[in-house]
């Protein structure tokens, strides 16, 4: 039987329970593995003898390997290519923010350097959004909770991670149990991330949204809306047919009533498709009764897959002005990071044209100076 990741929490806890071993030793093991890459089990001090035997027979410190880490020219972004035990690859992206720069509401922004990790939940994605490179891969497999956590482990050895966003490859709520288990470990020792610093992004898997607040209170929810009417959503997001807009908005209304938290609305700007003034008014009317932050996302072209063009700066600015001025909806424009390494939003894809060869589709984006809020953490304010 293949050894599992020691970060597969349910498997570890189950084996400890069967063996009659105190589960309080598990965070000690995780902490040692975090601090000592490629460690041997016998190197962990002060564990009961039965623990060493169990670990050797059932678990590995890591079932994935960091295949490569590619830095952007400006050093703000590092894209991690991670090889799984089944030979597949996933990508995760570290984004570094200097919050000492700029102001918020006219006052100096508090804090300093911090890093956000964009994490994957699946190999590929079955949602098929036709503006997203990952969608071109199709769906290959779900990640285990250990494989999700190992992305954080690999990233922690490169940067001190303060925020985690499930905005990488895959639809997190289609791998619900593994994602929830991974987040529960992230919020416990030794990781100890606050749920308020973790964001799940979904295209709108209605039945899972309804469970999310109960299972993980205080988590951030981001919804990839991308269009204000069902017809356009289905055009650019085929999976939207399974999640009618009216039912989705009702689920979000119920979620907000329970959680009392802002919901982040992600809206990719596609020239001539969803970026006209009429679309801004439709979106404003759809959201005006909610507590939301709308994040306008400049489209990142994805090489030969691009059937869309990036909205120009003036269109984005007008769209933002309508949402803010007419509907009083807080609206930001996402700062683009990592385009030179194909690590920006919508560009994560792994192609394997030849054995052992890993290629990313090239992406070339535009730079923008529109009112950027730098990090998901700032959007909560």
pLDDT digit string, tens, across residues 185-213: 999 999 999 999 999 999 999 999 999 99
pLDDT in tens, 141-155: 999 999 999 999 999
Structure token digits, residue 322: 């309508």
* Residue linked to tokens 């999976």: 239
Residue 217, pLDDT above cutoff 90: yes
Mean pLDDT score across all residues of the chain: 86
Q: What is the pLDDT of residue 133?
A: 75
Residues ≥6 apart with Cβ < 8 Å to 356: none
Whether the per-residue pLDDT at 110 is higher than 90: the answer is no
The whole-number pLDDT of residue 381 equals 45
Q: How confident is the model at residue 219 (pLDDT cuts 50, 70, 90)?
A: very high
Q: What residues does each domain of the chain span?
A: 4-58, 64-379
8 Å CB contact between 271 and 300: no
Under DSSP, the state recorded for 48 is -
Q: What is the pLDDT of residue 102?
A: 52
> How many residues does the structure list for the chain?
381
Q: Is the CB of residue 103 less than 8 Å from the CB of residue 82?
A: no
Q: What is the mean pLDDT of residues 313-340?
A: 87
**Percentage of the chain modeled with pLDDT above 70:** 82
| Residue 302 pLDDT level (bands cut at 50, 70, 90) | low
Among 17-26, 170-179, 329-338, name the one with the lowest average pLDDT: 329-338
> Looking at the predicted structure, is the pLDDT value of residue 377 above 80?
no
pLDDT above 60 for 51? yes
pLDDT at residue 120 in the model: 97
Average pLDDT (21-49) is 95
Among 185-189, 260-264, 353-357, which stretch is predicted with the lowest mean pLDDT? 353-357
Question: 89 or 301: which carries more pLDDT confidence?
Answer: 89
Q: Mean pLDDT over residues 327-348, rounded?
A: 66
Q: What does the pLDDT read at residue 362?
A: 29
DSSP string, 349-379: --EEEETTEEE----------S-EE--HHHH
Angle at 103 between CA 98 and CA 107, to 5 degrees: 130
For residues 235 and 226, give the distance between their C-alpha atoms in angstroms, rounded to a whole number: 11
**The pLDDT of residue 134 is above 70:** yes
Question: CATH: 3.20.20.70, 1.10.3720.10, 3.40.1410.10, 3.40.50.11710. Which one for 64-379?
Answer: 3.20.20.70
Mean pLDDT of 309-320: 95
**Distance (Å, rounded) from C-alpha 261 to C-alpha 255?**
9
| pLDDT surpassing 60 at residue 342 | no
Q: Does position 107 have pLDDT exceeding 70, yes or no?
A: no
Residue 360 pLDDT > 50, yes or no?
A: no
Distance between CA atoms of residues 271 and 131, nearest Å: 12
- Spatial distance between the Cα atoms of 205 and 239, rounded to a whole number of angstroms: 9
Residue 90 CB contacts under 8 Å (≥ 6 apart), including other chains: 82, 84, 120, 123, 143, 147, 151, 168, 169, 350
Amino acid 112: pLDDT: 67
Residue 119 burial by CB count (10 A; 0-12/13-18/19+): exposed, middle or buried? buried
Q: Which residues pair with 164 in a beta bridge?
A: 117, 198
| Residue 229 backbone zone (phi > 0: left; psi -120 to 50: alpha; other: beta) | beta
pLDDT at 358: 32
Distance in angstroms (rounded) separating the CA atoms of residues 33 and 6: 9
Residue-wise burial string across 297-330, b where 16 or more C-beta atoms lie within 10 A, e elsewhere: bbbbbbeeebebebbeeebbbebbebbbeebebb
Q: Is the pLDDT of residue 109 over 80?
A: no
Q: What is the pLDDT of residue 359?
A: 29
Confidence of residue 38 (pLDDT cuts 50, 70, 90): confident
For residue 303, the model assigns a pLDDT of 63
Mean per-residue pLDDT, 290-313:
86
Q: Which position has the higher pLDDT, 381 or 159?
A: 159
> Average of pLDDT values for 65-86?
94
* Band (63; pLDDT cuts 50, 70, 90): very high
Q: Which residues are catalytic?
A: 91, 345
pLDDT in the model for residue 37: 86
pLDDT given at position 103: 46
């Amino acid at each position: 039987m293949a050894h599992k990741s020691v970060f597969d929490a349910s498997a570890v806890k189950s084996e400890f329970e069967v063996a009659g071993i105190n589960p309080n030793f598990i965070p000690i093991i995780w902490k040692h593995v975090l601090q000592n890459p490629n460690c041997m089990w016998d190197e962990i001090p002060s564990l009961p003898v039965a623990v060493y035997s169990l670990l050797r027979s059932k678990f590995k410190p890591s079932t994935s390997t960091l295949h490569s880490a590619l830095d952007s020219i400006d050093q703000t972004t590092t894209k991690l290519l991670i090889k799984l035990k089944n030979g597949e690859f996933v990508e995760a992206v570290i984004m570094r923010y200097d919050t000492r720069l700029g102001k918020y509401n006219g006052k100096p922004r508090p804090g300093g350097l911090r890093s956000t990790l964009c994490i994957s939940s699946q190999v590929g994605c079955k949602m098929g959004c036709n503006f997203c490179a990952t969608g071109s891969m199709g769906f290959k497999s779900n990640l285990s909770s250990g494989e999700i956590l190992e992305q954080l482990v690999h990233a922690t050895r490169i940067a001190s991670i303060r925020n985690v966003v499930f905005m990488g490859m895959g639809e997190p709520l289609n791998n619900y149990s593994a994602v929830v288990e991974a987040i529960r470990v992230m919020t416990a020792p030794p990781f100890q991330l606050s749920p308020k610093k973790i964001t799940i992004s979904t295209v709108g898997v209605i039945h899972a949204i309804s469970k999310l607040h109960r299972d993980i209170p205080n988590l951030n929810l981001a919804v990839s809306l991308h269009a204000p009417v069902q017809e356009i959503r289905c055009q650019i997001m085929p999976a939207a047919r399974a999640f009618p807009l009216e039912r989705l908005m009702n689920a979000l209304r119920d979620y907000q009533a329970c959680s009392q938290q802002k919901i982040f609305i992600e809206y990719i700007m596609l020239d001539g498709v969803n970026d006209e003034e009429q679309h801004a008014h439709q979106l404003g009317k759809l959201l005006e009764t909610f507590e939301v932050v709308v994040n306008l996302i400049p489209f990142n072209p994805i090489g030969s897959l691009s059937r869309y063009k990036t909205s120009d700066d003036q269109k984005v600015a007008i769209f933002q002005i309508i949402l803010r001025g007419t509907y009083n909806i807080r609206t930001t424009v996402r700062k683009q990071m990592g385009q030179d390494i194909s690590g920006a939003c919508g560009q994560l894809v792994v192609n394997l044209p030849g054995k052992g060869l890993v290629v990313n589709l090239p992406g070339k984006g535009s730079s923008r100076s529109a009112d950027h809020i730098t990090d998901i953490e700032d959007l909560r304010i």
